[in-house]
Structure 1
Amino acid sequence: MALAFSGAPAMAAQSPVPAAAPASRGHAELVTLFREWRAFVSPRMVAGVPDYSAAAMTRQAAALPAWRARLAAIDRSGMSVAEANDARYVESEINALDFFQRVLRPWARDPGFYQNVFAEMSDVPAHEGPSAEPNVDLWQFRYPLTRADDRRLATLLETVPPLLAQARTNLAASTVHDLWAYGDRAFIDQVEALAALEAGTLSLNDLDGRRTASLAGASARLKAAVRNARLASESFAAWVKAEAPRRVGPSGVGKDNYNWYLKNVLLSPYDYDQQVVILQRELDRSLASLRIEEARNRAAPPIPELSDPAAYRRMAEGRNQRLWELLVSTGITPDRPYYRSALFGQLGDYTPPAQRNFFTHVTALDPLPLSSHQFHWIELARLKYEPHASPIRATPPLFNIYADRSEGFATAMEELLAQAGLYDDEPHGRELVWIMLANRAARGLASLRVQANEIDLAQAGQFHAAWTPRGWSDANSKLVGFEQLLYLRQPGYGPSYIIGKTQLDRLLAVQSHAAEVAGRPLTLGAAMTRIFASGIVQPSLIERELAAGAPRP
């Protein structure tokens, strides 16, 4: 019996992986504890439905001291630095559940927690934000469905109506206004996905790219399950919208709780106030750099905007090939077909002006800034085809602990690759990189102020849009609302794009200094390979592994 957040994609090894070094006895015990811990975090099922009742959550919280005691009893004296970091990582997951139990309590505060039907694979190791189990990941199925998958999907979808019925009881005392004011949106999306599945027009996305799902040949049971899940979602969205006006409490977790989460879960070297300084510095730097870049490029002809979808697609494929060649030639990414396929699978199509959001304003001119961020998908391919030797790191993190590592490193790729020469043939492309960075810094700053209860989500969206250059961000857009709601629901996520980027700079600096001291060369590819070898864990743990035995700068 337990709580689960952000269900992860199923990723089994499909390629030989080098054998791990023999584990210490303590680490072997840690792996056993970790596997039992993950089983504990999954919710207990009652009549086929996960139990998120107050009684169930109280019992879960009462078990946490025993998990801490078991972890503390494991002998770490013979562990390597990496093995000891695994123990620190497991402790951070226990701390995360503690935080969710004491502070965040999404099952009792957040209507969006109960959205659990997803058409697309997340571009990070698990779903963004907390979500109830079972996650109904429509993208994990192949259509038309086999009989076994038909039954499995029907069983999953049949949990949606009773789960949403339970949610109304669990959320009865919630007063978090912004979570309610914006909370119906997730279920409108869920309704649209289920309706599209019924209509045979649902667009799915995963490592293989986009495809369409259909219920052609589906059983009567599955069709009924889809319909009932859609109707229950429609009803729940209407209930959330109707309840929102009377839910008038504050939304953020407050600075003290936020700092506890940073220190004990994200293992961040920066507290709230330091994050504010860093994000403000990046916002200032990006805006100043944009104007300097514009001056530099004043005589260069503007990027021609293509309006023909076929011509745009050809351009985008050519630009993506340039990105791939740079990743491989610098040694950042090995030349492996599943990495290339993952990257090219996320290439977007032409978007007409009236339908554009912030990101498609950028990609209309050049897809490379966003494609650089799609390094995410290379990382997901690595998880699938080259899982980490440690069973603990081969499993995607819970509670969005990956945020600084995944979102921050993907954001860093945008500027890193620009500096490495990605836009030497199109200098205006560097302007787009600075605009992307300004947007991420502005939305992160806004999210920090929301967590401190200084502003609400509407004001956050206004700040977010006002500080994004060229008027490309709309405070009332679906995208801005989604982003700011996510950052409220998951503390630390909004700043992670900048904070994780800052920590990648630190990891490169540590290696650069060590190489200078040792009098040896260091290439970007070698430095990045060492960083990626630690897997998807908090950057502070990666730094300990890089610096083990080496002088610190």
Structure 2
Amino acid sequence: MKKTVHFLLINLAIFSICSCQVPNDTSTSDHKSSSQYSDLVNLFERWRSFENPPLHDGAPDYRKATFELRHTKFRELQKELLAIDTSGWAIPEKVDWRIVWAEMNGYDFNDRVLRPWARDPAFYKSLWMERSDVPAHEGPTHHGTLEFWQYEFPLDETSKAKLLKELQAIPSLNKQAESNLTGNAKELWEAGIPTIATQVEDLKGLLLISEISNDPKLAEAVENAVNSTEGFVEWLIKESANKTGESGIGKENYTWYLQNVHLVPLTWEDEVMILKRELARAWSSLKLEEHQNRNLPPLAEANTAEDFEKLTENSIQKFMEFLKDQEILTVKDYFEPALREHRGSFIPKEKRNFFTIGMHIDPLPLYSHFYHWFELAIMDNEPHA
């Protein structure tokens, strides 16, 4: 699937050329390559076109029969990739070959193991009101998502037509989901229900936008999507009583996925060891900080909107000054606006969760984590060639 290979690959691929086995890697050979880089480019374009599934009643088609019908074509593309001789190619070109290889492995892994279209109701969430804090959505998503945050109002005719088409696809996809979801992953099923239920409320919220509610076609499409999603939620709740299986994929599958899709030369056991080590480091660091600050008064919560405004403003300025003054990185003029867009808002104490509790005491730890919004801003303002 299209989200399988993250941007992490770009950093890891060069290293993994030396650390993972590639079936056709003849880079140590002295003979001239019989394959051209243009062969890979051509294959990549055809591969990406194939990876985007066909439509069924206006929605991406994840039916079992469709996957079976397309399987032969996938194997042909995969075989064609493995037949490309990369000997004599420059390292960046070999990296590109490896990334296409990893993407195809990801498609194969989803088809054989993950199968989110059959096991995970959250896969069918269509409406996304806010931008994800990573380049692609976290977790499996289908190919026809409605990224509402990308629309600018008032809508031009092209945008209005696109929005209408995406809204009209939701009932079709929901109907398809009820046939496709044959898996028995209990925890995935239960976690997916509130995700789809949230879509109902988000869809209803669209009707509060006058440009949508005053447009007969858009309003009708939203209403149909609401009714369909409500019915989908009811079906999921009814079926949940029959779900008894595990959601995990097993250590062997996890290791294969790490090494062959994300190109991380580790195993499940390696990851567990690293996580235990980092958890121990985190606890040690926490206890050292607590001891160092043991004589200081406890931090005060911001329990009014005014106090929260002062707290976040001071934290933003302190964070940006730290990055600049300590020469942590070159601070771009669009960094601070990117951070301010996600500074948070005041929440009454009884409604705060883990993250917002901390934000109302000291936002700096969370703001340092928000470095990923800087990365997205870099992608928007200075995209890599």
1:379-458 aligned within 5 A: 379-389=375-385
Q: Is structure 2 residue 68 aligned with structure 1 residue 72?
A: no
Matching residue within 114, 120, 132 for 2:142: 132
Partner SS state of residue 134, structure 2? coil
- How far 1:363 moved relative to its partner? 0.8
Aligned partners of 2:119, 2:374: CA distance in 1, in Å?
A: 35
Partner residue in 1 for 2:127: 117
Aligned partners of 2:45, 2:322: CA distance in 1, in Å?
A: 39
Q: Is structure 2 residue 274 aligned with structure 1 residue 278?
A: yes
Aligned partners of 2:247, 2:368: CA distance in 1, in Å?
A: 33
Q: Answer yes or no: is the 8 Å Cα contact 2:255–2:268 preserved in 1.
A: yes
Deviations along 1:235-285, one digit per CA (max 9) or x if unpaired, are 111110110111212211011111111111111232111211111122222
Partner residue in 1 for 2:197: 188
Q: TM-score, normalised by structure 2?
A: 0.86
Q: Is structure 2 residue 185 aligned with structure 1 residue 176?
A: yes
Aligned partners of 2:5, 2:151: CA distance in 1, in Å?
A: 15
**Using a 3 Å threshold, how does the CA distance of structure 1 residues 167 and 124 change in structure 2: closer, same or farther?**
same
Tell me which structure has the larger Cα radius of gyration.
2
Aligned residue type for 2:343: L
Q: Answer yes or no: is the 8 Å Cα contact 1:50–1:133 preserved in 2.
A: yes
Partner residue in 1 for 2:44: 34
- How far 1:130 moved relative to its partner? 1.0
Partner residue in 1 for 2:227: 231
**Using a 3 Å threshold, how does the CA distance of structure 1 residues 43 and 5 change in structure 2: closer, same or farther?**
farther
Aligned partners of 1:240, 1:304: CA distance in 2, in Å?
A: 44
Matching residue within 266, 269, 289 for 1:293: 289
Q: Answer yes or no: is the 8 Å Cα contact 2:127–2:145 preserved in 1.
A: yes
- How far 1:89 moved relative to its partner? 1.5
Aligned partners of 1:73, 1:326: CA distance in 2, in Å?
A: 52
Partner SS state of residue 334, structure 2? helix
Q: Is structure 2 residue 164 aligned with structure 1 residue 154?
A: yes
Q: Answer yes or no: is the 8 Å Cα contact 2:5–2:106 preserved in 1.
A: no
**Using a 3 Å threshold, how does the CA distance of structure 1 residues 4 and 234 change in structure 2: closer, same or farther?**
farther
Aligned residue type for 2:82: A
Bigger mean CA deviation after superposition, 122-131 or 216-225: 216-225
Aligned partners of 1:145, 1:130: CA distance in 2, in Å?
A: 29
Moved over 6 A (4+): none
**Using a 3 Å threshold, how does the CA distance of structure 1 residues 315 and 347 change in structure 2: closer, same or farther?**
same
Partner SS state of residue 79, structure 1? coil
1:54-65 aligned within 5 A: 54-65=64-75
Q: Answer yes or no: is the 8 Å Cα contact 1:150–1:219 preserved in 2.
A: no
Aligned partners of 2:70, 2:378: CA distance in 1, in Å?
A: 33
- How far 1:144 moved relative to its partner? 3.0
Deviations along 1:154-181, one digit per CA (max 9) or x if unpaired, are 111100001111111112x321111222
Partner residue in 1 for 2:350: 354
What runs of 5+ residues in structure 1 fail to find an aligned partner? 9-24, 201-213, 390-553
Partner residue in 1 for 2:173: 163
- How far 1:148 moved relative to its partner? 2.8
Aligned residue type for 1:71: L
Aligned residue type for 2:111: Q
Aligned residue type for 1:219: D
Partner SS state of residue 127, structure 1? coil
Partner residue in 1 for 2:18: none
Aligned partners of 1:154, 1:321: CA distance in 2, in Å?
A: 42
- How far 1:290 moved relative to its partner? 1.2
- How far 1:147 moved relative to its partner? 3.1
1:259-270 aligned within 5 A: 259-270=255-266
Aligned partners of 2:144, 2:128: CA distance in 1, in Å?
A: 11
Aligned partners of 1:215, 1:169: CA distance in 2, in Å?
A: 34
Q: TM-score, normalised by structure 1?
A: 0.61
**Using a 3 Å threshold, how does the CA distance of structure 1 residues 130 and 281 change in structure 2: closer, same or farther?**
same
- How far 1:185 moved relative to its partner? 0.8
**Using a 3 Å threshold, how does the CA distance of structure 1 residues 228 and 148 change in structure 2: closer, same or farther?**
same
Q: Answer yes or no: is the 8 Å Cα contact 2:5–2:262 preserved in 1.
A: no
Aligned length: 357
- How far 1:338 moved relative to its partner? 2.5
Aligned partners of 1:115, 1:351: CA distance in 2, in Å?
A: 27
Aligned partners of 1:196, 1:6: CA distance in 2, in Å?
A: 31
Q: Answer yes or no: is the 8 Å Cα contact 1:144–1:217 preserved in 2.
A: no
Bigger mean CA deviation after superposition, 331-340 or 302-311: 331-340
Partner SS state of residue 158, structure 2? helix
Q: Is structure 2 residue 302 aligned with structure 1 residue 311?
A: no
Aligned residue type for 1:198: L
Matching residue within 364, 370, 377 for 2:366: 370
Partner residue in 2 for 1:464: none
Aligned partners of 1:6, 1:274: CA distance in 2, in Å?
A: 21
1:528-543 aligned within 5 A: none
**Using a 3 Å threshold, how does the CA distance of structure 1 residues 266 and 330 change in structure 2: closer, same or farther?**
farther
- How far 1:350 moved relative to its partner? 2.0
**Using a 3 Å threshold, how does the CA distance of structure 1 residues 74 and 331 change in structure 2: closer, same or farther?**
farther
Aligned partners of 2:40, 2:295: CA distance in 1, in Å?
A: 61
Matching residue within 200, 207, 216 for 1:198: 207
Partner residue in 2 for 1:240: 236
Identity of aligned residues (%): 39
Partner SS state of residue 248, structure 2? coil
Partner residue in 2 for 1:22: none
Q: Answer yes or no: is the 8 Å Cα contact 1:215–1:223 preserved in 2.
A: no
Please, what is the CA RMSD of the aligned residues? 2.2
Deviations along 1:283-318, one digit per CA (max 9) or x if unpaired, are 222123212211110112222222221231232122
Partner residue in 2 for 1:222: 218
Aligned partners of 2:366, 2:175: CA distance in 1, in Å?
A: 39
Bigger mean CA deviation after superposition, 369-378 or 96-105: 369-378
